[in-house]
Amino acid sequence: MNLGEALAASAAKAPDRVAVTCGAETLTYAQFDALADRLGDGLLSAGIGQGDRVALHMGNTIEMAASYFACFKIGAIAVPLNIRLKAAEIDYVLAHSEARLYIGEPGFYQRSADTPDSCPPDRFYWVCAEPAAGVTPFARLLQAPKRDALPRARSSDPAVILYTSGTTARPKGVTHSHDSLRGTAESTFTLGFRRDDAFLGWAPLPHASGLMLQLLPAVLAATEVALVPRFDPAAILRTLERRRCTATFGLPAGLQALCRALAEGSYDVSSLRTCVAGGDSVSPALQKEFKEKFGVSIQEGIGMTEALPISANRPGRIKIGSVGPPLDGMEVRIVDDQGAPVPRGVTGELTVRTSVKMLGYWNDPAATAAAVRDGWLHTGDLVRQDEDGYCWFAGRKKEIIVRGGSNVAPQEVEDVLLQHPAVFQAGVIGVPDPELGESVIAFVSLRERGGCCERELIDFARRLLSDHKVPGKVHFLESMPLGATGKVSRRTLKEWLPAAFGG
């Protein structure tokens, strides 16, 4: 069964059950399935066939969700675009994926003067953000003649190309099949998500987490997903209260913002029973604050666009600070630089062997071969595994700082800085040093202006870290630069470094 057929099956099983809500809009499964069918007819009438790429550039809207399933139903390949991308980044994704058609919200993309005339796609369908008189281009897609039957994709066919954030190089197009997407969504029910959950959908739908950990699990279970169009903590809490949502996935920075919003307003959040988090480290302070405010423990996990999730804490079996044990069906091996397994308790690269992983990188066989070796996906994440099988994240392999011949994981230093009560967010990078090779530099944003000084933070870190891991300098920012997934962008911090220190 492909994913389009999975939606049809849920509609047949529970036609009158709420499928998706967004603000005041509510669609039942019968209505949502019919909308995806009509949009599939429109794509076919626009000349889109099996295997063609369709760029989807919308936030968390019903149109975005329906566009995914329209592609799935006709065998087209969805290419979601993050709404934070700039014109040049969008140009690259459109050209690399050779998208034949673009569906997006007005204002998200203005072709730049540098965009070649030959850059695909040549057809654009805009979704109006506000109701307007007349027929919008998107509405015209929905007016296409209805076909007796839509072409059928095989479950092993490519379904989506998700472009990575490109922290070290050009973004790569992670390609997933219907089977791998379905397998990923099904795996979430081993995390504590239930088939009668109402999902709070605020993770971005163009991102792997929004698609795989909120939209698809809801559709497979024929249950509700309540979408929040943009990241707005108050709107998220209002949606949680109004729709009585029971399960959600979030990034730690977003969960921290929800805690702040809940402290500033009055919301009934008592329906929430499961919260899974990933994409960045969940500090013990955030764990404590979230449990106090929401009455729910955060289940921290780890995964990547290529295979999501890999490991996670389970309800009632949480080790704070860890990313939990591997999921069922995930064979995990921690290896050294030569690819040899390391003993329990020793840090190495996380590798995983599973059937629920990407097909490969779109049009990049060399990168695919480098990532998947002898059937093992090399994640680039450094972890150690304890005697109970729980994994503990230590940082990204390519971001390790080598100071005086010793390795320093930025994540470890950030975790220590986040233990200081005045620190809200932290980012640590390495910079060239003529004597030591690299030195450690920290950036922090504070909960309150003037909450601490540089000397205080350096002394605090020195009490908890080996001397070679202690930052030599600390720079204070009003707000930290965030990447497409909400994590602190160390690459941007490196770009800001000369301005930060006056050189």
Per-residue pLDDT of the chain (503 residues; tens, 9 = 90+): 999 999 999 999 999 999 999 999 999 999 999 999 999 999 999 999 999 999 999 999 999 999 999 999 999 999 999 888 878 788 889 999 999 999 998 888 877 667 767 677 878 887 864 445 455 678 888 888 998 888 899 999 999 999 986 544 578 999 999 999 999 999 999 999 999 999 999 999 999 999 999 999 999 999 999 999 999 999 999 999 999 999 999 988 899 999 999 999 999 999 999 999 998 788 888 999 999 999 999 999 999 999 999 999 999 999 999 999 999 989 999 999 999 999 999 999 999 999 999 999 999 999 999 999 999 999 999 999 999 999 999 888 888 888 876 778 888 899 889 999 999 999 999 988 877 788 999 999 999 888 899 999 999 999 988 888 999 999 999 999 987 667 888 888 988 876 665 54
The size of the chain, in residues, is 503
- In 10 A of CB 386, how many CB atoms? 13
Contacts of 255 (CB under 8 A, 6+ apart): 275, 277, 282, 286, 290, 298
CA distance 190 to 76: 30
For position 485, what pLDDT does the model report? Answer: 67
Which residue is it, tokens 């698809």?
Answer: 216
Tokens at 484, concatenated: 């497409």
What are the CA-CA distances from residue 498 to residues 24, 127, 440 (Å)?
47, 41, 15
Say if residues 140 and 103 touch (Cβ distance below 8 Å). no
For position 338, what pLDDT does the model report? Answer: 92
Phi-psi region of 68 (alpha: psi -120 to 50; beta: other; left: phi over 0): alpha
CA end-to-end span of the chain:
58
For position 109, what pLDDT does the model report? Answer: 87
Give strand pairing partners of 67: none
Cis peptide before 326, with omega less than 30 degrees from 0? no
Tokens at 37, concatenated: 């069918």
Parallel/antiparallel/unpaired status of strands 101-104 and 53-57:
parallel
Say if residues 309 and 187 touch (Cβ distance below 8 Å). yes
CA distance 395 to 374: 24
CA distance 212 to 417: 32
C-alpha angle with apex 187: 182 to 190, nearest 5 degrees?
Answer: 150
For position 426, what pLDDT does the model report? Answer: 94
For position 259, what pLDDT does the model report? Answer: 96
DSSP, residue by residue, 25-44: EEEEHHHHHHHHHHHHHHHH
- In 10 A of CB 328, how many CB atoms? 8
Give pTM, 2 decimals: 0.85
Say if residues 467 and 436 touch (Cβ distance below 8 Å). no
For position 501, what pLDDT does the model report? Answer: 56
